[in-house]
Amino acid sequence: MAAVPVSATIQADVLHSFVKQVFERAGVPAEQAVDAADVLLYASRRGVDTHGVRNLKPIYFDGFESGILKPQADYKIEYETPITARVDGGHGLGLAASVWAMRLAMQKAQQSGIGMVAMRNSHHYGAAGYYPYMALQKDMIGICMTARIYARDHDYGVIPTFGAKSRFSTNPLSISFPTQTEPPWLLDMATSTVPFNRILMMRDNQQAIPLGWGVDANGVPTTDPSQVSFLSPLGGTREQGSHKGYGLAMMVSVLCNLLAGGWDDLYGDDPSAFEGYKVDGDSHFFAALRVDLFRPLDDFKRGMDAMIRALHETPKAPGHDRVYVAGEIEHETEQQRLRDGIPLTPVVLDDLRALSAQYGVPFEL
């Protein structure tokens, strides 16, 4: 795979300040602007560039301008118990709404041992891994998912096994476990072959994609990212286990869309609905668990370290010198980028300069 072109690098704290300020200039309340910047910089620091500042203009600011997103949104608790809540994201910035929802789940976990929050009427919330990462800061297990399910044919998305048209978004899920001395274990994965943002990023960087990642509008596999209309479930084909990715995608939609009421029979005779059911925006699911209500926290963390080291010592396949665990590569990337800066591709650099000019926020490399 060809190297990604890099135009410049910028220090993480400088980029965070810029992102926060342009969110504020767009009308996002100050505290929410900080939360949103935290999510995007988390991804950019850790090398998850598909979900970092690359998305600032094309997803969030273009969303403000089109009216899809409200810069100032009211988050509402619609139903609540000591361990659960169903909440409304107010069609606002999913980045900030999701930080609020995860904090609510963690507060419930702190009080009751477990907290679970399902949110509807939200929008793209960035890297799923950020929200379990929040739980790690409190030595909790964190879980997060986000989903869409389409009632009718959609012009992009993930096809079910044996299907020819999309029915899902990439429906990612993430889970984290605290450790003692090893980097925290943090899994963040799409239930499709690859996130759609990676297809778009490679298109922007004029890179070909591997065969099997996606198909065009006619269902023909392609290596041209600009021609990709649909992605396959994780596994790719039935013979390689796509039914497992398909099953996971539906599980995520049930926990997000259905529990939150983001897939509901509120649409009457709307022809775009199926039997009255339709999805409106993105829905999310957040959970936090206190380890110490199962066993002493230090015992658990020592066990996690030992499990990770045992995997590190696995005999290596030819041509490989390391076995990694989830989150390890991203952790090491973060250390390097905090030292050397965050690389920006030409497309991202142009977007950030355009926002700088539009909102009067200085942008200095």
> Is the pLDDT confidence value at 1 over 60?
no
Q: Give the residue-averaged pLDDT of 46-65.
A: 95
**CA-to-CA dists, residue 230 to 160, 166, 222, angstroms:** 10, 6, 10
Half-sphere exposure of 28 toward its Cβ, with a 13 Å CA cutoff? 28
Nearest to 178 by CA among 127, 142, 124: 142
> Is the pLDDT confidence value at 37 over 80?
yes
Query: Which of the pair, 280 or 162, is modelled with greater confidence?
Result: 162
> Is the pLDDT confidence value at 269 over 60?
yes
Q: Give the residue-averaged pLDDT of 30-53.
A: 97
Give residue 34's pLDDT: 98
- Return d(Cα 47, Cα 65) in angstroms, integer: 28
Domains of the chain and CATH, by start? 8-296+341-359 (3.30.1370.60)
> Is the pLDDT confidence value at 2 over 60?
no
Q: Best-predicted range by mean pLDDT among 8-22, 155-169, 200-214, 256-270? A: 8-22
SS3 281: coil
Nearest to 281 by CA among 67, 34, 24: 67
Percent of the chain with pLDDT over 70: 98
- Cβ(167)–Cβ(159) below 8 Å: yes
Summarised one tens digit per residue, pLDDT across range 119-130 is: 999 999 999 999
- Return d(Cα 22, Cα 33) in angstroms, integer: 9
Give residue 195's pLDDT: 80
Tell me what the pLDDT averaged over the chain comes to. Answer: 93
- Return d(Cα 232, Cα 170) in angstroms, integer: 9
- Return d(Cα 161, Cα 101) in angstroms, integer: 32
Specify the range with the lowest mean pLDDT, choosing from 20-24, 57-61, 224-228, 319-323: 224-228
Give residue 4's pLDDT: 63
Q: Give the residue-averaged pLDDT of 174-196.
A: 94
And the tokens for 140?
């909790």
What residue type is 6 in one-letter code? V
Query: Which of the pair, 197 or 311, is modelled with greater confidence?
Result: 311
- Reported as a pLDDT band with limits 50, 70 and 90, residue 241 is confident
Summarised one tens digit per residue, pLDDT across range 76-126 is: 999 999 999 999 999 999 999 999 999 999 999 999 999 999 999 999 999
Q: 133-139 — which CB contacts under 8 Å span 24+ positions? A: 133/42, 133/176, 133/184, 133/186, 134/99, 134/102, 134/103, 134/106, 135/102, 135/106, 135/109, 135/176, 135/288, 136/176, 136/178, 136/184, 136/186, 138/106, 138/110, 138/288, 139/178, 139/291, 139/297, 139/301
- Cβ(289)–Cβ(114) below 8 Å: yes
Q: Specify the pTM.
A: 0.92
Summarised one tens digit per residue, pLDDT across range 323-346 is: 999 999 999 999 999 999 999 999
Specify the range with the lowest mean pLDDT, choosing from 16-25, 40-49, 182-191, 273-282: 273-282
Pure H helices in 255-327: 259-260, 297-312
- Return d(Cα 98, Cα 104) in angstroms, integer: 10
Q: 3-class secondary structure for 67-101?
A: CCCECCCCCEEEEECCCEEEEECCCECHHHHHHHH
Burial of 220 (0-12, 13-18, 19+ CB in 10 A): exposed
Half-sphere exposure of 214 toward its Cβ, with a 13 Å CA cutoff? 27
Half-sphere exposure of 155 toward its Cβ, with a 13 Å CA cutoff? 1
